[in-house]
Amino acid sequence: MMKNRYFFGEGYAKLLGRRNMMFYHFLYLILWIFIRKYGKKKVMEEVDKQIALLKKNLPSFFQELFNVSIGAHIGLQKLMAMQIVLGRYMDKACTVTAMTAPATGDNHTYMTQNFDLNMFDLLKPIFRFFFTRKPRLHEFRQDHNPPYDYMYLGIPVIFEVPLLNEKGLGFAGAATVLAKNPEHIDSSDEGIPTYLLDLYTIIHCATVEEVSTLWREITRSSSTKKTWPYHWDFETSAWCDIEGGILMIEQTHSYIAVRDGGQRGILWHTNHHVWLDPEKTGSVANREEYPSSFRRYDRAEELLTCHSNDGDLSEETCQSLIRDHKGGYWKRIPDEGDICRHPNISAFAWIINTQNLTVTWTRGQPCRCRSSFRIRHYTFPPQGR
């Protein structure tokens, strides 16, 4: 279905490369030390494998990556090597929540994510500089092809976290941890990697209903590979829209479970399958195998339900939720039950308000950024441009 569909378009891809030429070259110089650490030959072998897979499964996206490299005057292999190296530092420890009426007192719709990393101090400031300095905006007026512009954090094309598109569709996502010795993992390289599916969704969908239809109908990969673009393939994605819809999707290659806010108007998720059968998907199911995911899941439910019954959830509630730390929830093991985790885990967080088209984000651990939440409102080009 998506094999030959565009993401960005040839003209915009080359323009994006030109705009970010210095950015890509500077980042490659910084990451060269880490490429050497893993071994340049080994990394380039991974790059060659990814190129072969993209040519087979997503030739249109491969061409767009190639066009970005042309515009930036940097080798395609270098672009992909940067993504592979950065991907090795992702930690499956994120927490996402979504809330809408009747749980919200102002009838607005909110979504939160604590983005967690597992990296040492030397790389984290570099990551924060490139990811959290400010949200960027894709404007596709160069080609007039993709329907919707969108805002994102991160590195254009090769390592983006989509946030919010011009129609008010917002995104968050939590990776799924697989059991250490599962009887079965629903794994397949065939289909669309979740990283690319997230980008395609934010470009082409305006409502959570459209998201649900797309994800149910498309062939999704759920590869166990740790390299780009497959290291998020077991992700549980979360979506919200300007009409008040909220949605979370547990999925693998063969199985999918879609949940909306129901009568309560709240959803939350961490890093294990709740609705799908872990024995069929391969998700961790034993609390002792990965206790943090289960305890953060319980903690998110506690924080949401204590206010949702009274319809008191708000922007302030969201800020309190993402900086939840040392609240006495699980004193035996620090951070196991906290939404904001230390050390070197919770790198940044964001809050989406769909009705206001705003994103509030932190540049560091939320509990240490109480006075420095940053907020940005985006006015997108009018429909029809």
Distance CA 136, CA 123 (A): 21
The least confident of 29-38, 165-174, 175-184 is 29-38
Superfamily of domain 95-377: Penicillin V Acylase; Chain A (3.60.60.10)
Q: Within its chain, how far is the Cα of 298 from the centroid?
A: 21
Considering 187-201, 223-237, 264-278, 347-361, the range whose residues carry the highest mean pLDDT is: 264-278
Name the pTM for this structure: 0.91
Section 6-16 average pLDDT: 84
pLDDT, residue 382, reads 44
Distance CA 48, CA 43 (A): 9
pLDDT, residue 165, reads 94
Coil, helix or strand at residue 83: helix
Section 262-287 average pLDDT: 95
pLDDT, residue 255, reads 98
pLDDT, residue 4, reads 55
The least confident of 37-51, 183-197, 325-339 is 325-339
- pLDDT tens figures, 88-143: 766 667 999 999 999 998 889 999 999 877 655 556 677 777 788 888 898 876 55
CB 227 within 8 A of CB 87: yes
Section 42-48 average pLDDT: 88
* The amino acid at 301: E
Locate the domains of the chain by residue range.
Answer: 10-87, 95-377
Higher pLDDT, 153 or 131: 153
pLDDT-above-70 percentage for the chain = 88
pLDDT band at 40 (very low <50, low <70, confident <90, very high): confident
Same fold? 10-87, 95-377:
no
The least confident of 101-110, 147-156, 212-221, 332-341 is 332-341
Phi-psi region of 153 (alpha: psi -120 to 50; beta: other; left: phi over 0): beta
Section 259-281 average pLDDT: 95
* Beta pairing, strands 246-251 & 110-116: unpaired
pLDDT, residue 75, reads 93
pLDDT band at 6 (very low <50, low <70, confident <90, very high): low
pLDDT, residue 228, reads 83
Q: What is the CATH number of domain 10-87?
A: 1.10.10
Q: Which residues are 113's β-sheet partners?
A: 96, 350
Section 347-362 average pLDDT: 92
